[in-house]
Structure 1
Amino acid sequence: MTVYELARSRKSNRCFSTEPVPIDDVLYAIMVALEAPSGANRQPWRFILVRDPRVKESLRREAERWEKKLHESKSIPEWFAEWLRERGITWRKEFLTRAPILIVVLADKRAPYSRESVWLAIGYLLLALEERKLSSLTYTPTNPKAIARILGVPDQYTLEAIIPVGKPDCIKEKEPRISLEDAVYIDKWGVRLA
């Protein structure tokens, strides 16, 4: 598959089979991520692979505690609350215990452009997982510091995302994308592609 074909087929998935996945496929995806560009070539990314059911349960319990507070609060914009409702997304995060592997992605705060660099690496990682026919989701916990504490992450690192990885347990359609014509301008804002 071309990179474009991988990108077109890749979608976020929240329902995973508990069927094991080859660790070599996950390590391959991380090797691809390690090739991403980074500010001053500092390569600020670090990854924790979580397979232990007890650790996954601890992460889920802590994540859900904070997610429940968020979902019950009045601070989230109505458009976002509606978007969540339409998709059946709740504070419950079963994917954290069902997915066979969780990839916890960390950024070294001391590096320039660490967050931007790490998210570039995540993009590479997602496409490599898709190449290996593995489903994934970029889950950004409501309270990443609480999750990082469970994993013993040093203070110099921020937890950017948890990526559950596995085989899909349901069929999910890809969310619509804007067209090239709506996304690109020529020479200045508002000048559309011919």
Structure 2
Amino acid sequence: MENVCLRRCSCRCFLKKEVPEEELLRLFQAGMQAPSARNEQPWEFILIRDPLVKEQIAQINPYYRAADGADCLLLLLADLARVRGDSPWWIQDMSACAENILLQAVELGLGAVWLGVYPRGERMRALREIACIPERVVPFAVIAVGYPANALQAVPRFEKKRIFKDKYGIEAGDQYEQQ
């Protein structure tokens, strides 16, 4: 079977089929297994299944339309009370968390799409209001999850010309031909 990373792609159209709780648990476990600077693990989550709340979220931004058709939304939050000082690493921690969830979704045969929130102030404000999120907690991302309505096919993105050897601009050669 091909590497899960190479099969990952965004899914924006979903079947009307409920994702079982056991699979959601695996998504949350994968997210929480992400690497974290200083082991701060700033992540928290809100699972959203209420159709009215999904509809409100879908209206925040035109790119959020997939939220309405997904079985559920995972709202990824960063609790800044878990972050020491003015450390900027929580952004990377949360990104790794989101990617782990997306990869786990592929492994489970689910479709998912990352809907960007942070650092867009208007998106963060809207989600704070909809989900009653306190100020110390940052709405970071929404991941729409469900069973894909159509077969998903990842588009290969590998480009060897983006790989350099030792210094920028020095091509790495032919050892990185796409398989």
Shorter-chain TM-score range: 0.7 to 0.9
Q: CA deviation at 1:172?
A: 4.6
For residues 93-114 of structure 1, give each alpha carbon's deviation from its aligned partner in whole angstroms, at most 9, with x where no partner exists.
Answer: 4421211110001123352311
For residues 19-74 of structure 1, give each alpha carbon's deviation from its aligned partner in whole angstroms, at most 9, with x where no partner exists.
Answer: 1111211210210121111111100111111011122122223x1xxx3xxxxxxx
Match for residue 26 of structure 2? 28
Match for residue 162 of structure 1? 142
Structure 2, unmatched stretches of 5+, are: 174-179
Count of paired positions: 164
Question: Structure 1 residue 192 and structure 2 residue 171: aligned?
Answer: yes
Q: Is the 8 A contact 1:15 1:168 kept in 2?
A: yes
Q: Is the 8 A contact 2:77 2:141 kept in 1?
A: yes
One-letter code aligned to 1:135:
G
Give me the whole-angstrom Cα distance separating, in 2, the residues matched to 1:33 and 1:104.
Answer: 12
For residues 77-107 of structure 1, give each alpha carbon's deviation from its aligned partner in whole angstroms, at most 9, with x where no partner exists.
Answer: xxxxxxxxxxxxxx27442121111000112
Q: Is the 8 A contact 1:51 1:100 kept in 2?
A: yes
Taking structure 1 as the reference length, what is the TM-score of the superposition? 0.77
Question: Structure 1 residue 117 and structure 2 residue 93: aligned?
Answer: yes
Match for residue 57 of structure 2? 59
Deviates more, 1:40-49 or 1:133-142: 133-142
Identity %: 29
Q: CA deviation at 1:138?
A: 0.3
What does 1:1-194 align with in structure 2 at a 5 Å threshold? 1=1, 5-61=3-59, 63=60, 67=61, 91=62, 93-110=64-81, 111=83, 112=87, 113-141=89-117, 143-179=123-159, 181-194=160-173
Q: Is the 8 A contact 2:4 2:107 kept in 1?
A: yes
Q: Is the 8 A contact 1:145 1:158 kept in 2?
A: no
Taking structure 2 as the reference length, what is the TM-score of the superposition? 0.83
Give me the whole-angstrom Cα distance separating, in 2, the residues matched to 1:126 and 1:27.
Answer: 13
Q: Which has the higher contact order (CA 8 A, sep 6+)?
A: 1
Give me the whole-angstrom Cα distance separating, in 2, the residues matched to 1:172 and 1:192.
Answer: 33
RMSD: 1.9
One-letter code aligned to 1:125:
I
Question: CA distance change for structure 1 residues 109 and 175 in 2, over 3 Å: closer, same or farther?
Answer: farther
